[in-house]
Amino acid sequence: MSNLTVAQVMELAPVIPVLVVERVEDALPIAQALVAGGLPALEVTLRTPAALDVIREMAQVEGAVVGAGTVLNPAQLDAAMNAGARFAVSPGLTEPLGKAAIDAGIPFLPGTATAADIMRGMDMGLTHFKFFPAETSGGLPALKALAAPLHTARFCPTGGITPQNAPEWLAQPFIKCVGGSWVVPKGPVDAKTIEALAREAAALPRHGSAR
């Protein structure tokens, strides 16, 4: 288990790949290609029966910081951590899940879409959030409006982020990274393609970085 903070996880790369992996045998080649391309933080969503085994496999890849996404409750959080997850991402924020993540000391990115969501998290001591679903929750104009009064919060927008619109999101000082599924195309695993897409994503400029 790493002692990374959530801020450090978000600083690892401009993009956190959001991974829906159906087959355990795909885990190693996907993780190796992503890490080789410069994307070490990997969010494995708990949407498939293979997800926990995928986390176990990916956690063996040198340089990979594997997290669990679509974490809905404390039981799933425990299972993900036991499988080797080093950070957790959820689509929303509930008090039981938030408390469990804080008690466990795991870097946690809860999903938020409203001021009330973010304020609830801040009341719990959280400072970093997923903005989800980003595009259908009003996109960048909505997040700019939320981030102004809630100026200490930092975000990872996910949902509808593409290579085309990611630079606009990443240019904002309150956005530390974005979540995206485009880096691993659907279908048979093509490691060379994944690595090439990862290199492009890793090269995206962020606020304050050299352009």
Tell me the catalytic residues.
43, 130
Report yes or no: 153 and 174 within 8 Å, Cβ to Cβ.
yes
Residue 97 DSSP code: H
**3-state class of 192 per DSSP?**
helix
Contacts of 111 (CB under 8 A, 6+ apart): 89, 90, 91, 92, 93, 117, 129, 130, 131, 132, 158
Using only C-alpha atoms, the chain has a radius of gyration, in whole angstroms, of 16
Contacts of 194 (CB under 8 A, 6+ apart): 30, 33, 34, 37, 183, 184, 185
194 vs 211: CA distance, rounded Å:
24
